[in-house]
Amino acid sequence: VPGSEAEMQNAPDYGEDSYKGSGRLEGKKAVITGGDSGIGRAVALAFAREGADVAISYLDEEEEDAQETRRVVEESGRKCLLIPGDISAETQCQKIVEKTIDEFGQIDILVNNAAFQMSHEGIQDLPSEEIEHTFRTNIFAMFYLCKAALKEMKEGGAIINTTSIQAYQPSKNLLAYAATKGAIANFTKALNEETIEKGIRVNAVAPGPVWTPLIVSTFPEEKIETFGQDSPMKRPAQPAELAPAYVFLASDEASYVSGEILAVTGGKPTA
């Protein structure tokens, strides 16, 4: 932990050969946490091909993956600002916003996507410090980033949070992670009550099983081999299959969509 997409034998499809943009985010400036790999990289690529410049945050040890994201964003004709650091610290979240404003002059879209998880047999095996770290990374950081970004965002802006099927169908081996994802769903709806008055929409995406470095770095080998096979589609999603949901929620096509959670679960029910 953290996993490396560059080291995965079965590399995820993040849309490099398939995603085609149509100018839906032309001129926009976006911040994407966890943008180095997985869903974050797929979203960064899609945003760039839709016309947005992107700033991505990631941990220092994920530099190789982050450079790959920058490559595909820049090859799409857009700027990519790399901001390494740990978002569990409020000062780092403030730094992300400050650096983005310095580089791009504005923030139109904030994608709170970064997350930490570890798999454990039960609550007795869950270290207290790991519980705190999971909450600091997955939900505290959203408070910190939204507080900082909303000072800069204008009417027409969009915040998109990544929750999970785990918010609705939690697994006992992902107790801390699942609890944060439930909190994110609640946070999304509550924050929307405030920001909608300012013309800023807050929504979330709830992925089902997705093939990312987070999976191979945190699950036991036997679970990795069957990952996603319990979904109605009998497979995990590829990150490229999640990106269009984020594009939709960031674009003017979703101008009347706010306070919602868009499930992309391969048929798994969220209610």
Which residues are the active-site residues? 177
Strands of the sheet with 201-207, listed across from one edge: 80-84, 53-58, 29-33, 109-112, 158-162, 201-207, 261-264
DSSP 237: B
Cα angle 188, 189, 193 (rounded to 5 degrees) comes to: 115
What CA–CA distance (Å, rounded) separates 183 from 188?
9
Residues 98, 140 contacting (CB under 8 angstroms): no
Sign of the Cα torsion 177, 182, 185, 188 reads: negative
Going by C-alpha positions, the residue among 201, 87, 86 that lies closest to residue 154 is 201
- Packed helices 128-135 and 175-195: angle between N→C axes, nearest 10 degrees: 30
Which amino acid is present at 88?
S
Relative to beta strand 80-84, strand 261-264 is unpaired
Residues 151, 137 contacting (CB under 8 angstroms): no
- Range list of H helices, 76-126: 90-104
What CA–CA distance (Å, rounded) separates 211 from 194?
34
